[in-house]
Amino acid sequence: MNSRILKNNHLKVRSIFLAIALGLLFFNFSFAQSESTVEQAEEAEAFNPGDMIMHHILDSHVWEFWEGATLHLPIIVYSKERGLEIFSSANLYDEHHNPVEYKGYTLEHEHIVRTDGVHVYDFSITKNVAALFLNSLVMLLVFIAVARGFKKNAGKAPKGIQSFFEPIIIYIRDEVIKPNIGHGYEKYVPYLLSLFFFIWFGNLFGLMPGAANLTGNIAVTATLAFFTFVITNVSGNANYWKHIFWTPGVPLPIRFIILPVELIGVITKPISLMIRLFVAISAGHIVILSLIAMAFIFQSYAVGIGSSIILVFINLIEILVATIQAYVFTIFTSVYIGLATEEAH
């Protein structure tokens, strides 16, 4: 029974990957072909691949899915003398998407500022914030469905969406969290599973055409790393702090050398998680967008077809990287928590 379930899961995964590959090939080829036929040599001279890449990588107050399909997100600002003000970001751009002034507000490098220099508090919904809400909503819908399936099929073989996610959940729990944390691992399972799937879903959504670069935003990775930092150090027992402030088994003069090294290590561990995820996802997006830009730069069908074929394989690699990065962030968080909660030998 288990082998048949695993075989079915493998077939589903292979089918999903094949569908993604075909979709990416069609999108990349049609995207390059349509752009190169509409715009000729004059457009090629005006095209700036750096601007195009940074437009996708950086956050924005406008979510452009493709040319002609743009979602203007709400601007929410607060100042003492004017109070709370809410309006559409469409008011801050002209027809050529250049920043303009509206009610004394304007954009400077995608930051809301007052033209009179008065400080304002910006609570606007940007593209990455909207993507974060969307990512969280999808997680809620998926895992509520998985939980219902688990209750409905108690004692039976999993079915539907449960059959896909349950083996992943069990693997992360039994092969990542439990071995690295050990005794008392159960109370960390909800956080670590949420962490894995949030990063995984965010990475995969970021590979879709017109998607936001959620996990390639350092503010998002810094927040996730901060959660890990707080949970790790709040969970630290006396043995953990003793090894940091008064390392046993070493001469007294060496302890004063080890102390700052250990304190630096407490901070650099979450920083390494933050930078690793940010760099890996952003670099992948830059490589993909650079290959797409080649078709616009050379204005060639041959280059467009060639880059599209290469992009299929690059995107498949990025799907693997998206999974690996979620796995790595989760396993290192588990290791750090395990070191903080480990009892003295």
* Spatial CB neighbours of 56, under 8 Å, sequence gap ≥ 6: 213, 285, 289
How deeply is 1 buried, as exposed, middle or buried, from its count of CB atoms within 10 A (0-12, 13-18, 19+)?
exposed
Cβ neighbours, 10 Å, residue 30: 12
Beta strand 111-114 with 105-108: parallel, antiparallel or unpaired?
antiparallel
Name, of 28-42, 74-88, 297-311, the range with top average pLDDT. 74-88
The residue whose two tokens read 């050398």 is 257
* Spatial CB neighbours of 41, under 8 Å, sequence gap ≥ 6: 299
Question: Is the overall model pTM greater than 0.95, yes or no?
Answer: no
- How many Cα neighbours within 13 Å face the side chain of 204? 17
Determine the Cα–Cα distance for residues 312 and 159; give it in Å rounded to an integer: 31
Both structure tokens of 147: 């939980």
pLDDT of residue 15: 53
Q: What are the residue boundaries of the structural domains of the chain, listed by start?
A: 74-124, 128-341
- How many Cα neighbours within 13 Å face the side chain of 343? 4
Selected residue with higher pLDDT from 298 and 325? 325
Determine the Cα–Cα distance for residues 105 and 229; give it in Å rounded to an integer: 37
CA-to-CA dists, residue 215 to 103, 223, 297, 302, angstroms:
33, 11, 28, 33
pLDDT of residue 307: 87
Closest residue by Cα to residue 307 from 290, 322, 282: 290
Determine the Cα–Cα distance for residues 138 and 51; give it in Å rounded to an integer: 31
Both structure tokens of 81: 């003398």
The per-residue pLDDT for range 131-175, each reduced to its tens digit, is: 999 999 999 999 999 999 888 887 777 888 889 999 999 999 999
Determine the Cα–Cα distance for residues 90 and 73; give it in Å rounded to an integer: 8
Selected residue with higher pLDDT from 262 and 344? 262
Determine the Cα–Cα distance for residues 345 and 342; give it in Å rounded to an integer: 9
CB burial of 268-285 (b: ≥16 within 10 Å; e: otherwise) equals: ebbeebbebbbebbbebb
* Average pLDDT of the segment spanning 214-237: 94
Whether the CA torsion 218, 223, 229, 231 is positive or negative: it is negative
Answer whether residue 324 shows pLDDT above 90: yes
Q: Residues in the chain, how many?
A: 345
* Average pLDDT of the segment spanning 280-293: 90
Both structure tokens of 286: 């830059």
Answer whether residue 192 shows pLDDT above 70: yes
CA-to-CA dists, residue 343 to 90, 136, 261, 309, 330, angstroms:
57, 35, 22, 53, 22
User: Which uninterrupted H or E stretch holds 221?
Assistant: helix 218-235
> What letter represents residue 21's amino acid?
A
* Spatial CB neighbours of 35, under 8 Å, sequence gap ≥ 6: 295, 296
Answer whether residue 20 shows pLDDT above 70: no
Determine the Cα–Cα distance for residues 184 and 112; give it in Å rounded to an integer: 46
Selected residue with higher pLDDT from 197 and 239? 197
Answer whether residue 206 shows pLDDT above 70: yes
Closest residue by Cα to residue 329 from 180, 141, 131: 180
CB 79 within 8 A of CB 87: no
